Amino acid sequence: PDWILVEEDGVEKLQRAFPFGNFVDALAFSNRIGELAEEEGHHPALLTEYGKTTVTWWTHKIHGLHRNDFICAAKTDQIFQGNETD
């Protein structure tokens, strides 16, 4: 599954679910994305569940998608793939 476009309350967002073997690994990934969010000064919604973290990016100020959201989505993928380029 790749990123999909979802609409919540009239706001377009980028969303992708990342699979994990358990809850701890899903939460660890949420923490890595939390670090990315702090670095970027841009914050997603992170839904952590048993075996899955769902990441949703959108730009609060413009109630929709900005170029930065696509960049953050790509960086999220890189972190999932474990080849972060700092």
Q: Name the site residues for its own copies (rule: CB under 8 A).
A: 23-24, 27, 30-31, 34, 37-38, 43, 45-50, 60
Residue 73 CB coordination number (10 Å): 20
Residue 29 Cβ, how far from its own copies at the closest point, in Å?
Answer: 12
Give the torsion sign (CA, 65, 67, 69, 74).
Answer: positive
Residue 22 Cβ, how far from its own copies at the closest point, in Å?
Answer: 9
Given the complex with its own copies, which of 23 and 66 has the nearer CB atom?
23
For residue 34, how many C-alpha atoms fall within 13 Å in the half-sphere facing its CB? 10
